Structure 1
């Protein structure tokens, strides 16, 4: 089926970790349309204080995010998983139009349909101002970069 996004539920430790890394790679493209394809057409999101439903709203949200959070780069880490759910910790770094760098920390709860598309995403995020010299994430994950717990 063309709308499947492997790995598919039910998840085990390996497939859940692969799902997390695939999401990280997609978000690091900063391509709203590509990212939105991982979600069901009627996916429900809570992101901070925003409530979204459907791919069109997700694309609009991600487009605005890309205009506000410049040079965004992300790391995700598997926290736990169930048959059709995954919990993730993440952090990402970005700067605003004024040049202030930020590190954003958060947790996401994901629920998937049988085709591996995310039907629900709940995200809680906090931002911490950092200096450019405090940055830890300089670009997308390399193939040799270990997947370590976030600190």
Structure 2
């Protein structure tokens, strides 16, 4: 199995890889998202450190069970060789109806086959009012004409 685009990344291929990752996460399909990672991929996400696709899929199932109406935007920050750095923000509500916005940075390392071998995430979040939401597209892929993080001032 492989996932284009492949390293080493140029700006266009790095941007494309970031959009593919955003689209995958916005699908909220843990089994499909886990396939973008190497079988032995290593993560750091808050205080969890999943290793391998099975743990990644289980992590995503738990995460998305509690993050309702979640919408995410990722933006390329930097790239070199087989590594990409992104910044991102996502909005979600919990089962009580409280909305949150989370901001973060991720450092990604890819294997030659284009699968992600390592993901190091740094994330913080805070409650927001529903009226302060900025991500309003229907659940699923962000429309191409929806503003990105920079255009939204995030």
TM-score by length of 1: 0.95
Q: Secondary structure at the match of 2:127?
A: strand
Which runs of 5 or more structure 1 residues have no equivalent in the other structure? none
- Superposition pairs for residues 81-120 of structure 1, below 5 Å? 81-120=79-118
Q: Deviations over 1:5-56 (max 9, x none)?
A: 0000000000000000000000000000010010000000000111110000
Residues 83-112 of structure 1: CA deviation (Å, up to 9, x unaligned): 100000000000011100000000000000
Q: 1:14 aligns with which of 12, 15, 21?
A: 12
Aligned positions of 1:59-74 closer than 5 A:
59-74=57-72
State the Cα distance separating 1:128 from its structure 2 match. 1.1
Within a 5 Å distance, the mapping from 1:125-144 to structure 2 comes to 125-139=123-137, 140-144=141-145
RMSD across aligned C-alpha pairs, in angstroms?
Answer: 1.1
How much has 1:138 moved relative to structure 2? 1.5
Normalising to structure 2: TM-score of the pair?
0.93
Partner of 2:146: 145
Q: Which runs of 5+ in 2 are unaligned?
A: none
CA distance in 2, matches of 1:94, 1:146: 18
The equivalent of 2:24 in structure 1 is: 26
